[in-house]
Amino acid sequence: MDRHRSRSPTSSSHHHYSPNRRGGDNRRRNHCDGAQFRPSNHHLHQSSATPRQTPPRSQTLSTRREAYERDFPLYKQPVEVGCFSLDSRRRFFNDSRQMRYYVEPERSPNFDLRDGYKERYVKRDENVKEKLDHILRWIIANRSKLTSKLTTNASCPLDFDFVTWRGHLTKLLTTPYETREGWLLAVTRFNGTLYISEVETEAARRERENRPERNKEMMYWGYKFEQYMCADDTNSEPDPSGVVNTNEAFCTVVQTRLTDHKLLFSGEVDCRDRDPGAPPPPACYVELKTSAEICTPKQRSNFHRFKLLKWWAQSFLPGVPRVVAGFRDHDGTVVSVETFQISKISQLIKNEYNCWKPTVCMNFCCDFLSFVKREATEDNPSVVYLFSWEPHNDVTYSVHRDSRYSFLPDWYIKEMTRSPE
């Protein structure tokens, strides 16, 4: 059954990732790739069944897990093509000035995550919707690196099928297992590239606006943990007496391919290995997380089923090999720190009954992107195809012209319509 696996999410120094074993047959052409691509319409809902003919194409996409239990799709080793930084005032810089360095803590460090919440916390304004703007600024600043060497055609300047945030792809990966939160993804086709930008759902906005004080404080704990674990320079130490400012960010920009979808996406990176002998990005990057300490078998099972799914999806996408987790008690004290290798997570969850599977996540994402490519056909920067999903339903979409959903800024359209120097 595993015979055709092309990339496994276990390998960390790799050309392909694959879920649970090393060295699958990487030379094999993926069943979803190029000429051998056969749209697996069995999970697209059809209005009428006409067996053995080309099935009519549906305008909805199923999110049922069973529909995606096939071989792991080709996912090329993500390559970092650049990075950018956002400073304490959320200003963009086309460089790594916000990079931080991982400092290994004691196993039981007793960090107080509540420290500074009232006095040393500057919180990013969540009412400001930045959409894809930072990525688009990065694209303009690095346009010469990105233009296809084969096509000098000015109408197809970017050699990517999709441009988006890593976080949006994470949501797609976890969709077949999500039972609580739906999503809205706005898609615009411009010069042949599909741009995907999230729209906050009404439910998410309500939740954000009515967040209990305890939750607000717990959101701070994650950032405070980063401050305890990261130094600003390779040979300095963390400074827990400083201000936590969540405007600051270091983002990697990676390119990769999922079957026949060429992707360019950016994701925030917490820190990197400070050893000068560490591998190049993204292999030197470290993702930091906090989680409630695990005291019972039920808590362990929930951690495997829900937390590890999200952690795996988020770091697997850009090829970040490890997550360092701080387990905290009810009062926000870190009682233990543990490293999770992304490549070992699928093994770790194997004993969980009816657990999530990396292949389902990746195949769903792949089929969603194929669905978007097929449906979002009009190349027009002011047209938005709004893809919508609620748990226990299919993905649907609606089309919007010159609406409040348009998200490609005029400065970007203007710059990209100009032919490159």
134 contributes a contact to ligand 0WD by CB under 6 A: yes
Residue 50's Cβ-side half-sphere holds a number of Cα atoms within 13 Å equal to: 8
Task: Label residue 396 left, alpha or beta by phi (over 0 means left) and psi (-120 to 50 means alpha).
Answer: beta
- Please select the residue that binds ligand 0WD; options are 188, 245, 314, 343, rule is CB under 6 A: 314
Element housing 195 (H / E): strand 193-199
Near ligand 0WD by CB under 6 A: residue from 158, 163, 185, 249:
249
Contact call for residue 281 and ligand 0WD (CB under 6 A): no
Which token pair is 379?
Answer: 């190349």
Residue 124 interacts with, from Ca ion, ligand 0WD, none (CB under 5-8 Å by kind):
ligand 0WD
- Single residue of 86, 187, 288, 376 touching Ca ion by CB under 5 A: 288
26-35 contacts at long range (C-beta below 8 A, 24 or more positions apart): 28/4, 30/6, 30/71, 30/73, 30/74, 30/259, 31/4, 31/70, 31/71, 32/73, 32/74, 32/259, 32/260, 32/366, 33/74, 33/259, 33/260, 34/260
Segment lying near ligand 0WD (by CB under 6 A), choices 42-50, 93-101, 163-171, 397-405: 163-171
Please enumerate in sequence order all residues whose Cβ is within 8 A of that of 317, keeping only pairs 6 or more positions apart, or say none. 78, 166, 169, 170, 173, 265, 267
Per-position x/- string for 54-93, each x denoting binding to ligand 0WD as judged by CB under 6 A, each - no binding: --------------------------------x-------
In eight-state DSSP terms, residue 303 is I
269 contacts Ca ion (rule: CB under 5 A) = no
Q: Return the sign of the alpha-carbon dihedral for residues 210, 203, 265, 157.
A: negative
Whether the Cβ atoms of residue 224 and residue 217 lie closer than 8 Å to each other:
no
User: Which is it for the CA torsion 213, 215, 221, 226, positive or negative?
Assistant: negative
Residue count, binding to Ca ion (CB under 5 A): 2
Contact call for residue 198 and ligand 0WD (CB under 6 A): yes
Sole binder of ligand 0WD in the list 5, 7, 16, 166 (CB under 6 A): 166
Q: Which of residues 352-381 bind ligand 0WD (CB under 6 A)?
A: none
Residues 6+ apart with CB under 8 A from 144: 420
Residues in the chain: 421
Q: Which does 130 bind (CB under 5 to 8 A by kind): Ca ion, ligand 0WD, none?
A: ligand 0WD
Residue 248 touches which member of ligand 0WD, Ca ion, none, C-beta under 5-8 Å by kind: none
Strands (E), 12-145: 79-86, 92-93, 101-102, 121-122
Of 137 and 166, which CB lies nearer to ligand 0WD in the complex structure? 166
Give the x-and-dash track for 314-353 against Ca ion (CB under 5 A). ----------------------------------------
Least distance in angstroms from the C-beta of 128 to ligand 0WD: 8
The region of 16-24, 236-244, 246-254, 286-294 touching Ca ion under the rule CB under 5 A is 286-294
Beta strand segments in 285-419, E: 285-292, 322-328, 334-341, 383-389, 396-401
Nearest residue (CB) to ligand 0WD, 86 versus 264: 86
Binds ligand 0WD (CB under 6 A): choice among 137, 289, 328, 357 = 289
The residues that touch ligand 0WD, with contacts defined as CB under 6 A, are 86, 124, 129-130, 134, 165-167, 170, 198, 222, 249, 267-268, 289, 314
